[in-house]
Chain A
């Protein structure tokens, strides 16, 4: 359990996503946990990752608090609905859903291989929800304005929904949308999303806990492992080649998706 947490945390940190997308299938397929228990344990690790990552980042002004608070209304509503829906769905349906999301995440990972972040004009008026932060890479101040707020709200709602249903953070859905459609620079989108997934995962975890699907004894090693792993992953991240890592992980996710479909067909 501890090892699975360390591995998922390290992979998550290396790839800039929560480790849930790896932890859930490992707990379910390799250790034989029912999918709902696996999702519940993973949500507990997502909360821990979100809290420690955001605590570490506070002060860098990368987290857009106001924009995040607006989106949280939508993402928490999504995860409330998703958490209740998960109780109604059969395990095979959830397995197929996980397979589909796994494929989507893998494709998104491959699609963003060569992407660089655009530096915006510092003269931009950030408006009420936009933000401004110091970019260490370019040495300048990045200012951005939020575009297409309804799209951001919709993506947050969908991310919350998928998060509760499958036990992942949902950042894999929000971050690309906020970056590509809503004008948020990648690092700010990732930092804001990392803060938001704490309340998203809490909503789902509360529902699973109330239903008796979240065992503290099973969650404890996973939570501690993920925290160790993400610290390790951040340190390794400076040395590893992101490109090959992404290709490798996309391959792993596609294999996981195939296994989930096979399981659901049995």
Chain B
């Protein structure tokens, strides 16, 4: 068990989260930038559309990936309360993607 408030485990987690977020934001910006440049240069091509969509999906997946990394870290530390909390956040994220498709409004 990690001492509360001053967790060296949390410090490692913070660094891991930082790496995931940086990787996600750089990859997604590169895709979005490339997609945008191709669209401006040669119109809306399949490649450009694919890059733009990939960039957006990576952007949306980045915070979720950060939560997954947290869940794994807390599971290794056997901190089940925080495993449960982060899994709840993931379940809510999954619920939002299902809700967007399943519910029919108007």
Chain A residues within 8 Å of B, Cβ to Cβ: 44, 47-48, 50-52, 54-59, 61, 63, 65-66, 69-70, 72-73, 76-77, 79-80, 83-84, 87-88, 125-132, 143, 195, 198-199, 201-211, 214, 216-217, 219-221, 223-224, 227
Asked if A210 contacts B100 (CB within 8 A), the reply is: yes
29 cross-chain CB contacts under 8 A: A47-B63, A48-B28, A54-B21, A55-B18, A66-B10, A69-B82, A69-B85, A73-B89, A76-B92, A83-B96, A88-B105, A127-B5, A129-B4, A195-B17, A198-B66, A204-B96, A206-B60, A206-B93, A207-B96, A207-B97, A209-B56, A209-B60, A209-B100, A214-B56, A216-B55, A219-B32, A223-B29, A223-B55, A224-B29
Which secondary structure dominates where chain B touches chain A? helix
Asked if B21 contacts A207 (CB within 8 A), the reply is: no
Going nearest first, the 5 A-B pairs with the smallest beta carbon separation are A210-B100, A58-B18, A126-B5, A198-B63, A216-B52
Interface size class of B (residues with CB under 8 A): 35 or more
Asked if B25 contacts A61 (CB within 8 A), the reply is: no
Tell me if B76 counts as interface (CB < 8 A to partner A).
no
Chain B residue at minimal CB-CB distance from A221? B36
Q: Please provide the chain B residues from 27 to 57 with a CB less than 8 Å away from any CB of chain A in the complex.
A: 28-29, 32-33, 35-36, 39, 44, 49, 52-53, 55-56
Interchain nearest-CB distance for B103 vs A (Å): 7
Asked if B25 contacts A51 (CB within 8 A), the reply is: yes
Asked if A203 contacts B29 (CB within 8 A), the reply is: no
